[in-house]
Amino acid sequence: MRSADLLHFNLQLVLRHRFRSLMILLALAIGVAAVNLLTGLGEGAKAYVLSQFSLLGNETLILLPGKKETRGTMPPLTGESPRDITLDDASAISRLPGVVAVAPLSVGMAQVHIGARTREVIVTGTNRAFFDIRQLQLQQGQMLPARDLDIASPVAVIGSTLKQELFGNTPALGQWLKAGDSRFRVIGVLDSKGQAMGMDMNDLMLIPIASAQRLFNKPGLFRLFIQSQSSDAIPAVKQRVEQLMQRRQGGVADITLVSQDAILSAFADILSALNLAVSGIAAISLLVAGILIMNVTLISVSQRTAEIGLLKALGASNSDVQTLFLTEALLMALLGAAAGILLSELGLWAMRLRFSDLAFYSPWWARWLALAIAVATSVLFAWGPSRRAAGLQPVNALQGRRTDA
Amino acid sequence: MIELHQLCRSFLLGDQAVKALDNINLSIRAGEYISVMGPSGSGKSTLLNMLGLLDAPDSGQYLLQGTDTTLLTDNERARFRRQHIGFVFQSYHLVPRLTAQENIELPLVLAGVPPQQRKPKVAAILAQLSLTERASHLPNQLSGGQRQRVAIGRAIVMQPQLLLADEPTGNLDSQSGLDVVNILEQLNQQGITLLVVTHDPALGQRARRRIRMVDGRIVADEQHSTAAGTLHA
């Protein structure tokens, strides 16, 4: 049989048995789409979690007061360390070689009043370097002033949600608000950024670190962000900070230094569980797709037993018959897989539009794997029955369906 | 043209071996018109399948135009079938999704004949069987007689020497049946060897050579100089 005729014969089969073809293609497409879509969703979720941990940047160290274990038990509650990290420590660290900037953090709750409105707000004392390290963008106004750490000033930068809740649609810049017993002038509003590392940046009020220490009457820092020149310099900086703190704290460095790598490795179990979940989703959808395709192919072949007998009576050899059925299976697999991939990419695109934070992309291997599974299962499961059918005595096969037209 | 020597074929029915063909010896010359009659289960259909190379014997010899077909591979048997033998079935066995024209064209397609050579052959057959106007109809848009004419067209498009018909009028009313028989006999007069398997004595008696089978054996093989009786169903 000529290959052009082979293709034409099978195309005719697809086109003139529209309902049957549609059902087979649907099953194939759903199988392939499931693999692609589910893997894409899993990868998107994984990428989201990873990005949440990566926001810190790999050039940043976090200095915490007290010796803490990052593994095993729950971390102790803050504020129980015998030795505080002070602003003087922060200034000393900022002068160490390899350190570009430090951002101290002092966090507390305060009642914020504006006119008659009152709201409980997390107030964070910090400095200008914090804006760089956390990559905070301003919607309007300016950042905290770049001054020495120990100089207090009555200014505040607020998150976008807080701005909306305190001021509504009226302008906030230049307005005074009262936090505890102190008054602060709003000099900037943060761009909405969402959650990062468990802190809702939209609900934040940032004031100079010295003002915060006065407000909370607490000389110790909650933590200190240390930015190094490069990620390569991190180990050296880490060592210098430890030595310096050992000297300053009288022989024992009662501190904990955390890098992004350490955070990521602490969450290694979660990440590997996520990886496992994504692979599991892909495997299950592949299995389901495979079984779906298998059934469809088996039905398609057994429905055409009579035709196999006829083709043999008309002079087709066993290998001709098998070629016909395998070509049909291959044609269907390719058409179905193409439709399925198109469908799932559309689905992922729609998901990305809906949830702009999450990057729902299926990895390239998922598409190839889905295609390979579609082709392999349909050819494999067309192979067996078509071989059996080709081996049937033609007349028996013909008598299998006497009601043929 | 055809020589059968001590041909045997048995089937297992449950745990019992049934001899469908029991030491058949038969020789058929080119251009003969033969009918095979006999009760159900007498081995008529098995003989037909055997002659059509659709089935292989357990023992014995089948010479088709001097070639011992029992020694052929599957592919060679398929080629022999395609080139020398045409089939007409009781229930037509047309491919339902193909038009009359495409059904007739199918053996040519399977044989790998290029499209430009296929067209005139199919057109000639359609004209010969008065089916030109029905060429692009699907089988379910045709009457029984028309369907069987399409099936005959398909059987002869490769210009075989041997035409095997299994109850060709079994599903037809008497008028369409007569039309079909006339076409088959016309083909026989043009030189094709015609073998008809039937239950219908009226059809069987039109053949010049009448073979009667019982229990896998040929019990009668008569030559008649002229066709006797007329077809009435």
Q: What is the pLDDT of residues A147-197, one digit of tens each?
A: 888 888 899 999 888 888 888 888 888 889 988 888 999 999 988 765 555
Residue B164 contacts residue B51 (beta carbons within 8 Å): yes
> A 137-196 residues with CB below 8 A of B?
none
In this prediction, residues A122-129 reach a mean pLDDT of 90
Nearest residue on chain A to B154, alpha-carbon basis: A314
Mutation target to probe the B interface, by most B beta carbons within 10 A, among A9, A308, A314, A319 is A314
pLDDT at B77: 86
Cβ-based neighbours of B194, under 8 Å, separated by 6 or more: B32, B33, B34, B163, B165, B184, B185, B187, B188, B207
Mean pLDDT, chain A, whole residue set: 81
For the ranges A75-84, A320-329, A388-397, the lowest mean pLDDT is seen at A75-84
Name the E strands within chain B: 2-13, 16-28, 33-37, 59-64, 67-68, 85-88, 162-166, 193-197, 209-214, 217-223
Delimit the domains of chain B by residue range. Answer: 29-56+73-223
Q: Pinpoint the alpha helices (H) of A55-133.
A: 87-94, 129-133
Nearest residue on chain A to B142, alpha-carbon basis: A405
- A405/B105: higher pLDDT: B105
Nearest residue on chain B to A312, alpha-carbon basis: B78
Nearest residue on chain B to A310, alpha-carbon basis: B93
The highest-level CATH class for domain B29-56+73-223 is: alpha beta
Highest-pLDDT range among A124-138, A209-223, B181-195: B181-195
In this prediction, residues A6-31 reach a mean pLDDT of 83
Residue A334: name the closest of A15, A3, A5, A25 by CA.
Answer: A25
For the ranges A77-91, A140-154, A251-265, the lowest mean pLDDT is seen at A77-91
- A262/A38: higher pLDDT: A38
What does the alpha-carbon distance between residue A196 and residue B18 come to, in Å, rounded to a whole number? 83
Task: Count A/B contacts: CB-CB distance under 8 Å.
Answer: 87
What does the alpha-carbon distance between residue B155 and residue B33 come to, in Å, rounded to a whole number? 17
Cross-chain CB nearest to A398 (options B93, B110, B111)? B93
pLDDT at A72: 46
Mean pLDDT, chain B, whole residue set: 89
What does the alpha-carbon distance between residue B134 and residue B150 come to, in Å, rounded to a whole number? 10
Residue B214: name the closest of B37, B8, B33, B27 by CA.
Answer: B37
Q: Judging by DSSP bridges, how do beta strands A199-200 and A195-196 pair with one another?
A: antiparallel
In this prediction, residues B168-172 reach a mean pLDDT of 89
What does the alpha-carbon distance between residue B212 and residue B227 come to, in Å, rounded to a whole number? 16
Q: Pinpoint the alpha helices (H) of A17-101.
A: 18-54, 87-94
Flag if B112 and A1 touch (Cβ within 8 Å). Answer: yes
Place of tokens 């049989």: A1
Tell me the shortest Cα–Cα distance from A393 to chain B, in angstroms.
6
What does the alpha-carbon distance between residue B94 and residue B109 come to, in Å, rounded to a whole number? 15
Residue B158 contacts residue A315 (beta carbons within 8 Å): yes
Q: How confident is the model at residue A83 (pLDDT cuts 50, 70, 90)?
A: confident
Query: Does A393 reach chain B within 8 Å, measured CB to CB?
Result: yes
CA A84 to chain centre: 37
Q: How confident is the model at residue A132 (pLDDT cuts 50, 70, 90)?
A: confident
Residue B24 contacts residue B4 (beta carbons within 8 Å): yes
User: Residue B143: pLDDT above 80?
Assistant: yes
pTM, full prediction: 0.65
- A350/A115: higher pLDDT: A350
Flag if B110 and A311 touch (Cβ within 8 Å). Answer: yes
Cβ-based neighbours of A3, under 8 Å, separated by 6 or more: none
User: Residue A246: pLDDT above 90?
Assistant: no
Cross-chain CB nearest to B92 (options A313, A317, A405)? A405
pLDDT at B231: 47
Q: Judging by DSSP bridges, how do beta strands A176-179 and A195-196 pair with one another?
A: unpaired
Place of tokens 């192979």: A383
What does the alpha-carbon distance between residue A269 and residue B99 come to, in Å, rounded to a whole number? 64
Q: Chain A contacts of B102, Cβ < 8 Å? A: 12
Query: Does A318 reach chain B within 8 Å, measured CB to CB?
Result: yes
What is the Cα Rg of chain A in Å? 33
Give me the sign of the Cα torsion angle A281, A283, A286, A288. Answer: negative
Tell me the shortest Cα–Cα distance from A310 to chain B, in angstroms.
7
Flag if B81 and A315 touch (Cβ within 8 Å). Answer: yes
Residue A192: DSSP 8-state:
P
Q: How far is CA A382 from CA A131, A301, A338, A369, in A?
A: 63, 7, 19, 19
pLDDT at B233: 41
